Structures are given as structure tokens and as C-alpha cells.
Amino acid sequence: MPFKKFWNLAPDNSQSNVLNMYVYGTICSASSFFGSEDDVVSSQFVEDLNSYPGINTINVYINSPGGSVFAAASIINQLRKHPACVHTWCDGICASAAVGILLAANPGCRHMSRATLLMIHNPSTKAEGDQKTFLEAADLLDKVKQ
């Protein structure tokens, strides 16, 4: 399958220095052999964001079932360290790791309508291996939850 990013960055043609970001798809840290066409490499996001210098406002529109908590964390950190004012909107579903991206907005700049869904849950994973592998997976889930 061809690689396809889960986000799209585009300047807002109606307002100067405004960047619109659409997070539509599963959040992944890397495209894999068994992945879907929505998989994305989060480092590509950093490169894409840095290609728009001088932006004052970033509008993030989210319709995502979530995905990798670590890929979402890298995006959240990049949005928070960017000097622009970040607004986020839940356009449909904002679930799991996508909730973190919604929360990356500046205070008072998070938006949802009654027709959207926010879903938060305890972290989960898949593990395969021996007892040590499962104990390590459980420890990692505890850290992610904290």
C-alpha cells in the first residue's frame, strides 16, 4: 500500500499567517509492512510543520480514532512548543491518543460540538512472548497511564 499521512497542513487562504491542520486517520509512529494507508511517520510531521515559518495561529481539526500514544506525544510536544496560538476542534470522533492532540491547544482554545464524540480509556497494547515480556508490557502500560 502507498504511504499516506494522517494529517494535512495547509495555509488558510482567507487569513494570512494561519495554518490549518487536519488530523483525519489513525495516529502511527511509523508505516509498517502490515499497516494501513493511514499510517504515518511522526517525524514527517515535524518537517511539515517547520516548513511554515511565521505562522501566528494553527487550527487543528480532528476526526481520529487515536493510535500510538508515543506518536501523538511527539505531535503534542511540537504543537505546544510552536510559538503560534493553537486552536483544536473535534470534527467527529476524538478518541484515545487523539485526545492528547485535542488537549494541545492553548487554554480556552479547545472546541467541540454536541454532535462529536470524545473517548478516553486506559491504555492498551498487544504483547507476545514469555512472562518477562508480559511484565514489561504491563509496566509500560502503567507508565503511559500515569
Q: Phi/psi at 145 (nearest 5 deg)? A: -65, -40
97, 27 contact by CB (below 8 A): yes
Q: Which grid coordinates belong to 31?
A: 508505516
User: Among the options 31, 42, 64, 96, which is catalytic?
Assistant: 96
User: Among the options 14, 32, 51, 121, which is catalytic?
Assistant: 121
Dihedral, CA atoms, 97, 99, 101, 104, nearest 10 degrees?
Answer: -130
Q: CA 98 to CA 23: how far, in whole Å?
A: 8
Q: How many CB atoms lie within 10 A of CB 12?
A: 14
1-to-6, 24, 29, 37, 40 alpha-carbon distances in Å: 14, 18, 17, 6, 12
Is 87 among the residues known to form the active site?
A: no
- Comparing CA positions, the residue from 85, 121, 89, 84 lying closest to residue 102 is 89
Is 96 among the residues known to form the active site?
A: yes
What positions carry a catalytic annotation? 96, 121
